[in-house]
Structure 1
Amino acid sequence: MEYLLQGFVNVFAPEVILLVIAGVIVGIIIGALPGLTATMGVALFLPVTFGMDAVTGILLLIGVYFGSIYGGSISAILLNTPGTPASAATALDGHVLTQQGKAGKALGIAAIASAAGGLLSALLLIFISPQLAEIALNFSAPEMFGLALFGLSIISSISGGSILKGLIAGMVGLVISTIGMDPMTSYPRFTFDQLSLLNGLNFIPVMIGLFAVSEALVTMEEELRGKGTINKVIASYILPKWSELKHLWGTMIRSGFIGSFIGIIPGAGADIAAFVSYNEANRFAKKEEKDSFGKGNPKGVAAAEAANNGVTGGAMVPLLTLGIPGDAVAAVLLGALIVQGIQPGPQLFTTSADLVYTLFAGMLVANVLMLIFGLSGIRLFTKILKVPKNILAAVIIVLSVVGSYAISNNFFDVYTMLGAGIIGYFMKKFGFPASPIVLALILGPMAESELRRALVMSEGSYSIFFTRPISLLFIILAILSLVLPVILELRKKKKAIAK
């Protein structure tokens, strides 16, 4: 506790706290821009930290990291354009709330849930990080395949009005995810001799196209047909009431735990955590609430945001205790620590306890700052919706092009984004949900590679998935996630026929 108190003293040194504030603000801006992910934001600021001392430099990067994960929710809620992959699940209910004139309320819930998830994960990191890291070490190929399979089973919960259309979209996403080099043999698949396809399709341009560009194309069509409308939204400073928040705390805490747990598993990330928590929020919801998910249920926003911000602390657990990055951003932070002459690992807590606890204090402060800026910025954020739709559509397309190109400075990603946008436009017309495709693109490669690695481990025996408790648990949860929505839909149809 003494080290933690000294950590707060170090964080509140004027030059340090100003840089943390700057990092959080810049991170929120980066996160809100489509294509500019948290990883990219932290990587861009890495060279800036080279002339700083270790604590100040790392805290600046942590501010950018935390801010950008939250920032993705702003564009997801207001424009149905996830700023980062982690906020794709937020758009499912967040944008519907905006269409209902509740943009301020949705942004308020997102800010509060983000801070709750981030603070919970930071506290878990402080008090039980060694134990959490030990759990993560038990995950190998069978467990990772079970997690990926459980994630894919969520497709049935995010399919909107038609589970069949959602499953079809998910299958299309899985097929697309096989494009590129075979993960085990490196043999090219479905590349048609195009070098740009050897690494497969980057899911971020696909996500930008399916969500952002398709929305812009629909808006342009409405304008051309003379059916364009001005956004109707309450743009005043509206926060969720305490009576509404008290029904969300359980969802936030549960999702924060889920996000923290998934964050400690190397290879998993905030996007997976957000979708898993969204599904669990649906599972734990009352019967009368289940149908409202995807139609503007605040619990959907709270679950996704608490989980993706919960990953931030979780990803730091294996990084600091074992020297293993939990996700891509943690890998960049690992590089930053090594550049500063700090080697993460079990000895770090004894050799550099003052540094570690200063980082812990900085994480807690960064989450509180994120909450303050998130709530105080609602009035400004919602003004975006006062911009005429035709201008907004043009701006979205320009940002989508810039964001897609910035990922790897490759025009092929721009063409991918535009192609996905056209496909997404027709999907909207025929009532097919876009989220299952994005989820399949994220989890498909992970599921395939871990399945094949597990079979190599067991010499071709599938029993390995059923003899290991964690992988068996995930498989059971996956079956339940797929089957229960189908059963509920059939029962609903029977009741409707009976009436």
Structure 2
Amino acid sequence: MENLNLLLHGFGVALSVENIGAAALGAVLGIIVGAMPGIGSLAGVALLLPLTYKFNPTTAIIMLGALYYSNMFGGAYSAILINIPGDGPAVMTSLDGYPMAQKGKPGQALFTANISSFLGGLIGMIILAFTGPLLARLGLHFGPVEMAALLMVAMTSIGWLMGENPTKGVISTMVGILIACIGMDAVTGTPRYHFGNTYLLGGIPFTPLVIGIVGFSRVMGLMKRRKDVPPVPVNLKLKDSFITKQDFKRLFPVAVRSGLLGTFIGILPGAGATTGAFAGYAVQKKFKSQEPLGTGAVEGIAACEAANNAAAAGAFSPLLALGIPGSGTGAVLLGGLMMWGLNPGPLLFTTNPDFVWGLIASLFLANIITLGIAFCIIPFLVKILSVPTRYMIPVITTVCIVGSFSSTNSVYGVIVMLLAGCLGYLMNQSGYPTAPLVLAIVLSKIFETNLRRAFLMSGGNPVIFFKQPLSAVFMCILIILIMAPVTRGIWNKVKGRK
């Protein structure tokens, strides 16, 4: 009851005229920034931070928090409409969002993404409001050993979770791991696989890589179909974008499950919304869907969109309660808090309750505002798909180039995007799934850092993974995942002989 009273007090702070305006401005800017490939929440928050120097600290963090959260909404738009993820979490959304749009249901795809984002974020905010400090302390139990064990489970399972051919899925995963190894060693600082090229010392930039593999590879594929006529009506109204009751029944349990999972992932240091989206989609693979995932399934869109928004909300738990940012954007927000003379930690909830609970309440406000704006712009966004293919090719190419250049501020990003596009096109033509490759790149750096730290703690002894309860559970799951295909193969052979 105490938390509920504090939350109601927070709404009293957030519902002032200036704070409502700040939340609305942050929501609008977040959608725009999220929909533009190559910018992302990190750059958006960093660019707007100087503008808030003379703001009231509560008003400033409300605007930046709303921008960060609404960015999760915007990232799905370009992923669904033109198959170019606006940010990392939207990579998974494109797997089902774009096929659904190509089936002539872009409005329903955007509506599904928006309502799932709202539900996932709402779950994350409710959990943040009532168990924020407790969850933050739970996240501290995930040290290098536990994180390495958890990521081993994720890295082992993705090859079988994505793609009809498990062997090709594993190969794609291994290629992603090799790409992630390029650059400086995360622990010792030793350069690896740079081939004497100074640009490669910093590794392969993620955003141009994703834009190339997912977006530019599609441009190369569209060249064969440049005379195609778009299957989408030009004068689509908002009411034509509503999903049916049956579709809502399909997405609701998925959004709740992914919302809970995403919130938990959001509190883990270094995990972030991208990992949440991948995990939500991977878990959904284990459950039944009315349509196969990857073909335009409502469940696929709901799983990743709910998870990434919940993770964005959950990331505020360690940030506020412990002063530990869960992502690059969180680090910028932490810098803003310190700039305003606030010290994140357990005492922040007692010394600055107006600030903390005003921020938490403003996230609920931003969630509602963003949902309303997102619904209103669906008819305008859908018009993008009515553009003939021969005109879309140069437009998408321009977006890919601008997004890649803006993320690195150099032509190097454009070169990476072009090469990644060629790689993605060849993989698509050969039947190799690109999703495991992208996921492996995201997880490999986090996995390597935690694995190396775990071995430094144990002097190279792998037994450390079985000494802690959490890591021991993850290792048992890992063994089951590895042995399951072998056991299944032996069982089928024995059954066939009988």
TM-score (normalizing by structure 2)? 0.93
Once the two structures are overlaid, the 10-residue window that deviates more, 306-315 or 463-472, is 463-472
Matches within 5 A, 1:35-184: 35-184=38-187
Aligned partners of 1:320 and 1:348 also within 8 Å: yes
CA displacement at 1:332 relative to structure 2: 0.9
Matches within 5 A, 1:71-470: 71-223=74-226, 228-233=227-232, 235-237=236-238, 238-285=241-288, 289=290, 292-470=292-470
Once the two structures are overlaid, the 10-residue window that deviates more, 156-165 or 307-316, is 156-165
AA of the residue aligned to 2:462: Y
Deviations 1:43-89 (A, max 9, x none): 11111111111111111111111111111111111111111001111
2: distance between equivalents of 1:48 and 1:89?
33
2: distance between equivalents of 1:301 and 1:491?
35
Which runs of 5 or more residues in structure 1 are unaligned? none
Say if 1:293 and 1:239 are closer, same or farther in 2 by CA, change over 3 A. Answer: same
Say if 1:368 and 1:483 are closer, same or farther in 2 by CA, change over 3 A. Answer: farther
Aligned partners of 1:159 and 1:167 also within 8 Å: no
CA displacement at 1:103 relative to structure 2: 1.4
Once the two structures are overlaid, the 10-residue window that deviates more, 1-10 or 379-388, is 1-10
TM-score (normalizing by structure 1)? 0.93
2: distance between equivalents of 1:275 and 1:476?
22
Say if 1:486 and 1:256 are closer, same or farther in 2 by CA, change over 3 A. Answer: farther
CA RMSD across the alignment? 2.3
Aligned partners of 2:173 and 2:436 also within 8 Å: yes
Percent identity over paired residues:
39
CA displacement at 1:126 relative to structure 2: 0.8
Say if 1:125 and 1:430 are closer, same or farther in 2 by CA, change over 3 A. Answer: same
Aligned partners of 1:151 and 1:272 also within 8 Å: no
2: distance between equivalents of 1:348 and 1:36?
31
Say if 1:455 and 1:136 are closer, same or farther in 2 by CA, change over 3 A. Answer: same
CA displacement at 1:156 relative to structure 2: 2.6
2: distance between equivalents of 1:490 and 1:82?
41
CA displacement at 1:221 relative to structure 2: 3.4
1: distance between equivalents of 2:224 and 2:72?
32
1: distance between equivalents of 2:207 and 2:494?
40
Say if 1:209 and 1:321 are closer, same or farther in 2 by CA, change over 3 A. Answer: same
CA displacement at 1:254 relative to structure 2: 1.2
Deviations 1:302-328 (A, max 9, x none): 010000000111110011001111111
Once the two structures are overlaid, the 10-residue window that deviates more, 177-186 or 260-269, is 177-186
Say if 1:63 and 1:492 are closer, same or farther in 2 by CA, change over 3 A. Answer: farther
Say if 1:147 and 1:427 are closer, same or farther in 2 by CA, change over 3 A. Answer: same
2: distance between equivalents of 1:417 and 1:96?
22
1: distance between equivalents of 2:493 and 2:292?
17
CA displacement at 1:491 relative to structure 2: 9.9
2: distance between equivalents of 1:379 and 1:464?
55
CA displacement at 1:104 relative to structure 2: 1.2
Aligned partners of 1:270 and 1:307 also within 8 Å: yes
Aligned partners of 1:77 and 1:106 also within 8 Å: yes
Say if 1:204 and 1:458 are closer, same or farther in 2 by CA, change over 3 A. Answer: same
Say if 1:7 and 1:493 are closer, same or farther in 2 by CA, change over 3 A. Answer: farther
Say if 1:476 and 1:81 are closer, same or farther in 2 by CA, change over 3 A. Answer: farther
2: distance between equivalents of 1:157 and 1:15?
50
AA of the residue aligned to 1:468: Q
CA displacement at 1:243 relative to structure 2: 2.6
1: distance between equivalents of 2:266 and 2:494?
41
* Structure 1 runs, 4 residues or longer, greater than 6 Å off: 485-495
2: distance between equivalents of 1:132 and 1:452?
26
CA displacement at 1:102 relative to structure 2: 1.7
- How many residues align? The count is 490
Instruction: Tell me the SS of whatever aligns to 2:195.
Output: coil
2: distance between equivalents of 1:413 and 1:188?
20
2: distance between equivalents of 1:254 and 1:111?
16
Say if 1:476 and 1:277 are closer, same or farther in 2 by CA, change over 3 A. Answer: farther
Instruction: Tell me the SS of whatever aligns to 1:196.
Output: helix
AA of the residue aligned to 2:229: I
Which runs of 5 or more residues in structure 2 are unaligned? none
Aligned partners of 1:158 and 1:294 also within 8 Å: no
